[in-house]
Chain A
Amino acid sequence: MGYGDSDGAAPVAVKILIAGGFGVGKTTLVGALTEIMPLRTEEELSGPGTGIDLTTGVEAKRTTTVAMDFGRITINTSLVVYLFGMPGQHRFWFMWDDLSHGALGVIVLADVRRLADCFPSIDYFERRKTPFIVALNCFAGSRSYDEAEVRQALDLDARIPIVRCDARDRGSSRDVLVTLVDQAIAVAESGPLLPSASGSSL
């Protein structure tokens, strides 16, 4: 089967991104779902914020390496899903555009104890109009919370699902993925979410 952009020799690939603050469990979530060992790929960057141009001189350039973990789920012989954990630190943001291009959707992973860590991700994907959901990774010892409370704290549109999960658990992580793809379907059917007239919080 084909989707009009492949001659059938290679499977159709889609990518799903896992965003969120440092240490929130992005790699754990990738690891719970991938059929292969989580892989790591790297990008080398020359000085921050400058154009990369290594052709003009031999002087030592300061380089930074940013690593991304990723995994793969084969749906069938003609369809493969890749999961990418996005680099969370601000200085790597310019890589986000590249990764986000053509992404099916994004799981914004959040820790209720450090909710503010996921604000930048939410802002970014709201602006890009990329379908996303928020998954609260339930760490042992995290206090119980009320979904409405979290939604208000995140100033999150009522149409964007908030789910809770245990990123270490395959079933729980799979449910998060399914929720995201269902959300992507809803967005594809209705068009990108526009700010609701009554404001975005509950």
Chain B
Amino acid sequence: MDLSDEPRRGNWFSPVVRPYALVRGRTKPAGDRLDVISMAYALRVAVPDQTDLEPEHLSLLQRCAIPMSVAELASGLDLPLGVVRVLLADLRERELVRIDRPTPNRVTDIRLLREVADGLRRL
């Protein structure tokens, strides 16, 4: 059964704070566009100044101790993609995470495409 098109209605545990309140209504992340497959990872720095960070910022930092895609981070925290993009951009601005974004030429890189095809054949 394909349920992917069905908007999820209500949630027994709906957060009291609507997700966009977390980011104070911001819907546009600062800086470069973040793709769903952009990979974020925490930079090893001194303990971040937590005074201007939300708990969700810190959860994100923990989760991207190993490189993690934007989509996986959003799914793991059960937050909308748009909110996670804004939070990640905040962390990037503070130089707490680095985010590798896919470049357009990646999909025409024949060597890379062959590596993908060969890898899939071995599945």
Interface contact A10-B41, CB-CB below 8 Å: yes
Total cross-chain contacts (CB, 8 A): 182
Point out the residues of chain B lying under 8 angstroms from A11, CB to CB: 39, 67
Interface contact A43-B113, CB-CB below 8 Å: no
Q: Which of A144-152, A154-162, A174-182, A193-201 contacts B (4 or more CB under 8 A)?
A: A174-182
**How many angstroms between the C-alpha atoms of A66 and B74 in the bound complex?**
13
Interface contact A5-B115, CB-CB below 8 Å: no
Point out the residues of chain A lying under 8 angstroms from B116, CB to CB: 14, 75, 79, 81, 104, 181
Interface contact B4-A5, CB-CB below 8 Å: no
Interface contact B41-A69, CB-CB below 8 Å: no
Judged by a CB distance under 8 angstroms, whether A59 is at the interface is no
The number of chain B residues touching the other chain, given as a range, is 35 or more
Interface of A is mostly: mixed
Judged by a CB distance under 8 angstroms, whether B98 is at the interface is yes
**How many angstroms between the C-alpha atoms of A125 and B117 in the bound complex?**
21
B25 in complex: contacting residue of A55, A92, A104, CB < 8 Å: A55
Interface contact A15-B37, CB-CB below 8 Å: yes
Point out the residues of chain B lying under 8 angstroms from A96, CB to CB: none
Using CB atoms and an 8 Å cutoff, list the residues of chain B in contact with chain A.
Answer: 1-9, 19-20, 24-27, 35-41, 67, 69, 71-72, 74-75, 80-83, 98, 100-117, 119-121, 123
Using CB atoms and an 8 Å cutoff, list the residues of chain A in contact with chain B.
Answer: 3-7, 9-15, 22-28, 33, 39-44, 52-55, 64-70, 72-73, 75-76, 79-82, 84-85, 87-89, 92, 98-99, 101-105, 170, 174, 177-178, 181-182, 184-185, 188-189
